[in-house]
Structure 1
């Protein structure tokens, strides 16, 4: 499926806006991306750590190599000597079958993600995937960037971290990604999955 020019432009605008604030090597200038732009310094202090060095669990980060990106919230890496399936913490991306936004979200994550990355694991889901946050080699938190760019939405059922909602609000305010006014994502990923289960469920 081709990504429409409107969808591609929404993601390109978000990427351009984010990367202007991703200053390599700086721990004081925001690498949480443009999320900090419209906020006061006091508000910014309460946002999630955008850089691995500032993360409270930085000491538990493990080294990984990218194997493949399945979609906008699921990747496979080679971590600690074994292949590891990773479900990105706190976000939910459009399904690959969910129109062009599904394909665009995965392509966006693929384009932003380094071959070598750090992983902080928060939990394991029922499918055996590691639920975690991914950090690029320069320390940028890609989970936050996916929410802040509108390439994914906050997974409301499983995310209690208000900071991610701040990132999503910024994407909404700026019409980034799935929040673009010209071609928005019509259905939340979890609603889409539920609908698909109902469609495919055998009649009782």
Structure 2
């Protein structure tokens, strides 16, 4: 008797879901992400401004401040907020991972923010760096429509980091929907 492979696969998937198994392993998304080639610009990271903002130099000698889409790291240079917990760690991590590296910038629907910065997902060596910051508890998901291409993936990864109490999630009540709560004790 022949069995339909689609029915077999569906049955196995149903068993996994009912059993509570996760399709996300080691804090990485289950599918290999790849950028939309039609929305890619290449350059190299000339300077790291903070955890979620970099200065990129392009081949035509143009430079742009680039703000990473869908993430928000704690502040390190804000005139009113000062240095927030895990801000220096996020900046240091971004500097170690991106400074001097060739990157691909993938834009979404809106290409610039109100400050004139280029908005982009950062790809380095075929990996989505924005995702890496979330995986390591150094950024929260910050949604500013219409730029939402990877929001579902990022939110699922954030839930894992939160559950594991990694980085920013290790401080009770520190992260909220609007950013970071600096009114609580961090000791």
Higher Cα Rg, which structure: 2
**Partners in 2 of 1:128 and 1:151 — Cα distance?**
24
1:125 corresponds to 2:113: yes
Calculate the TM-score normalised by the size of structure 2. Answer: 0.68
Q: Which has the higher helix share?
A: 1
User: Deviations along 1:25-77, whole A, 9 cap, x unmatched?
Assistant: xxxxxxxxxx93169xxx824xx72xxxx33x124311111111111111111
Q: Which runs of 4+ in 1 moved over 3 A?
A: 156-160, 187-193
**Structure 2: where are the runs of 5+ without partners?**
1-22, 77-81
Number of equivalences: 148
Q: CA RMSD in A?
A: 2.9
Matched, 1:75 2:54: yes
Displacement of 1:191? 4.4
Q: Relative contact order (C-alpha < 8 Å, sep 6+): which is higher?
A: 1
1:175 maps onto 2:182 in alignment: no
Residue matched to 2:72? 92
Q: How does 1:134-173 map to 2 (within 5 A)?
A: 134-136=122-124, 138-158=125-145, 160=148, 161-173=151-163
State the alpha-carbon separation in 1 of the partners of residues 176 and 83 from structure 2: 10
Of residues 107, 114, 126, the one that matches 2:92 is: 107
Equivalent-residue separation in structure 1 for 2:116 and 2:84 (angstroms): 27
Q: Which runs of 5+ in 1 are unaligned?
A: 1-34, 196-204
TM-score (norm 1): 0.63
